[in-house]
A = this chain, B = another copy of it.
């Protein structure tokens, strides 16, 4: 068998060049895909320990960094809080609900262009966008 991981796969991408898929990385990734809330490294560590009780927090940080570097997950920061990790790798923003603390992904409407609503400096080439909204959801 040539693949690093077998059958169930845990939602792993078929291939990711240059990335050795170790059990730790696999489990960190699986945990992130399983619950798509936006856990901190600590929360990831707690969840991963259920299956890999001996994994260290440093390793979780390492795995998260590696997965981020390979574009499999995203790291998101709100204010100066702990970094959170996001399994949605599409371009999107976040809505932080002040009441519940929950974080919701916000998609861009199709076809929108940044330059339509922002006064960009002339010649600016945008490589990364980060949009965070804070507010409340009206009681439905």
Contacts and interface: CB of A to CB of B under 8 A. Distances in A.
Contacts of A134: 126-130
A40 B85 CA distance: 26
Interface residues on A, range: 35 or more
A53 interface: no
B119 A117 contact: no
A24 B46 CA distance: 44
Interface stretch (A4-12, A31-39, A56-64, A101-109): A101-109
A102 to B, nearest CB: 10
11 contacts: A77-B80, A93-B118, A108-B119, A109-B116, A123-B137, A123-B138, A124-B137, A125-B135, A125-B136, A130-B132, A130-B133
